[in-house]
Structure 1
Amino acid sequence: MTWDWKRLGRELRAARKAKGLKQTDLVQVTRVSLATVQNIEAGKEYTRITPTIRAVARAVGWTDSSPEAVLNGEQPTLVDADERGQSPPPQSDLPLPPFIQEELREGQVLASGVYDLSPEDSDAQMIIVVKGKKGASVDEIRQWRDRWRRAERDLRRLSDEETQTRSPDDA
């Protein structure tokens, strides 16, 4: 069965408007770009339902299963936490945007690292989490691991180059 992405976009737009929200309100709530919200509402085709689409659906009051339902020609289910005794999806104690929290919940963690790529007088760090899909085959995991190892070498080289190019006068 072919999914109807245009219908999903129309339904999400109608739900947003019914709640009195503007596209910029969705940007604020979901922390995705305006272009992404516009693409979803325009019916851009995706290969899967992304965490971003689910975040937009939640922002207009739909359940997590509603995007699939709409794509399959059914009606969305509205969330009514008070009447159904349901609670919203758990939020992290970390100050991460909702779409990042959603991405971290899905799939399996394959690797992670913390890299210092900042100037000497800064304590900023880059934190990377490498994720794979649930149920990945051993071959897929090996491919991802190999790609990550190459990328990690490049990151470490960048970090080392930054450290070596600093002179005592830079401090």
Structure 2
Amino acid sequence: MGRDWKHLADTIEAARETKNLTQVALAEKAGVSESTIQNLESGQERKRVPASLHKIERALGWKPGSGERVLEGGEPEEQQEETAAPPSDLPLRIVHELQDGPLLDATVVDLTPFGSDARMIVVVKGAPDASPEQIRADLLAWAKAQRHMQNIPTGDEPDEKAN
């Protein structure tokens, strides 16, 4: 039996829509281009499985290997959401924020380029009663903030204003 690219396309699209994500929002969450999502959702036959499929699996909350399973005619396996309590050494206001509203995204920022061995953890939470439209808007705002953060000078670059 060959790979069922149409089944993969339909499954990705359905999962994306269930999570109220646009193609753009899914692409940003997965760290791939919008055209990657569009191509996969087109169902077009391919010779190889794209390397980006594992990123899309993760962004959709699927267990690793789910994309291949779908290509073989199966269904994706959902990751079990972790319901562990936040570490007790966090400030109470942070614990409270972590418990309130749906988790939209999280990332770890390596601060080495800024001269530190520390890491910054960013958790993006939505409002508890957010509509799908608000969640989409929140994810797009987070993507914009991420792009802005990636463009912050490290201090190692020459200051063009000083010249």
Q: TM-score, normalised by structure 1?
A: 0.47
Between structure 1 and structure 2, the one with the greater Rg is 1
TM, length-normalised to structure 2: 0.49
